Copies of this chain bind each other. A is one copy, B any other.
Amino acid sequence: MPLAKVRNQYHHGDLESALVATARKLTKRNGVEHLSLRKVAQEIGVSPSATYHYFPDRDALLAAVGFSLFEELADYQERELAKIIGTTAKAAKDRFRSLGMTYFEWAIKEPHFFNLMFSEYCLMGPNSEHKREDSRAYLNLTKCLDELVSTGSLDERMRQHSELLSWTVVHGATSLIVSGHLEQDRYESILEDLEFSLGIRK
Chain A residues near B (Cβ < 8 Å): 31-33, 115, 118-120, 122-125, 128, 132, 158, 161-162, 164-165, 167-173, 175-176, 179-182, 186, 189-190, 193-194, 196-199
Contacts and interface: CB of A to CB of B under 8 A. Distances in A.
Rank and list the top 8 A-B pairs by shortest CB-CB distance, nearest first.
A172-B172, A124-B180, A168-B172, A161-B193, A168-B173, A171-B172, A197-B197, A118-B179
Chain A interface mostly: helix
Nearest to A196: B161
Contact of A115 (B120, B164, B182, B189): B120
Given A120-B115, A198-B197, A173 B164 contact: yes
A132 B173 CA distance: 13
Q: How many copies does the complex hold?
A: 2
A194 B115 CA distance: 26
Contact of A168 (B158, B164, B176): B176
B124 A179 contact: yes
Nearest to A171: B172
B165 A190 contact: yes
Contact of A175 (B120, B171, B194, B198): B171
